[in-house]
Structures are given as C-alpha cells and as structure tokens.
C-alpha cells in the first residue's frame, strides 16, 4: 500500500491521469471538488464531493479532480500498491516525442496549436 496527499487551491486541478498498477481510494479532508473517472467505454462518472466523502478510482482508468469550492481543498489518497505509478495525460501526449502529424490528426488541431501545447508541457530541464 501507499499513501498520498494533494492540496488544491481554489480552481486548482489534478489533471487527467491514471495509475497503471493500483486502484486509488480518496478521502476529501476539506473543501469541495469535482471528481471523477472515465471508464473503458469513455463514459464519465463524476460528481462534486464534499469534505468527509470518499471516492474510488479503478486501476488504469483516467481520473481527475478540480476544486470547485471557495476555499483550498485537501485530499488523502490510498493505493493498493506500494508503487502505483502515475501517467499524466497532457504531459504524456504533448510533452513527449509523438510525431506532430499524428497529434494533428488525432486531436483535429493545427501544427501551431500542437506547438503551443508542446511548449506548455515540455519536460523541465535539470539544473
């Protein structure tokens, strides 16, 4: 098992991501968040949860959180693996070396739009 804590400022997000090796159960300590996951048939299961409520994100499914309250939110997460892994979708798609033409076709975006997204998600250089 492993454990995590996330704090989201007002309007803050935990972008769409998934854990390839674990199911996550999350407990909202404080705040109000829009939380959900997308199943393998691309159906969204989402709702606003309040402090004291729990939600589950099945292993390998894309999930997300956004603070929709007027105060900071805090979430504790527990995973059924000591090494759940994490793959953040925006960074994986636009921060990697996937061919630009493929991204243009997949997302219906122009070369310019792809370039802007790549700049936003390019890997940070080590200092």
Residue numbering of the annotated binding site: 14, 17, 19, 24, 63
Phi, psi (rounded to 5 degrees) for 75 = -125, 135
Q: How far is CA 65 from the centre of its chain?
A: 7
Tokens 């792809």: give the residue.
Answer: 114
User: Which segments are annotated as binding site for oxalate?
Assistant: 14, 19, 24
Q: C-alpha distances in angstroms, 116 versus 57, 89, 93, 100?
A: 31, 16, 13, 12
Taking the C-alpha atoms of residue 71 and residue 31, their distance in angstroms, rounded to an integer, is 6
Instruction: Pick the closest to residue 70 from 22, 10, 8, 127 (CA basis).
Output: 10
User: Which segments are annotated as binding site for Mn(2+)?
Assistant: 17, 19, 24, 63
């Amino acid at each position: 098992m492993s454990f995590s804590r996330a704090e989201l400022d007002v309007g803050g997000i935990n972008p769409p991501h998934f854990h390839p090796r674990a199911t996550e159960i999350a407990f909202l300590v404080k705040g109000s968040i829009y939380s959900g996951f997308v199943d393998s048939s691309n159906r969204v299961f989402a709702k606003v949860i309040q402090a004291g409520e729990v939600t589950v994100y099945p292993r390998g499914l894309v999930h997300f959180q956004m603070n929709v309250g007027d105060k900071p939110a805090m979430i504790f997460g527990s995973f059924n693996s000591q090494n759940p892994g994490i793959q953040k979708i925006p960074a994986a798609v636009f921060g990697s070396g996937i061919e630009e033409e493929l991204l243009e076709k997949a997302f219906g975006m122009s070369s310019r739009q792809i370039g802007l997204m790549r700049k936003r998600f390019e890997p940070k250089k080590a200092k």
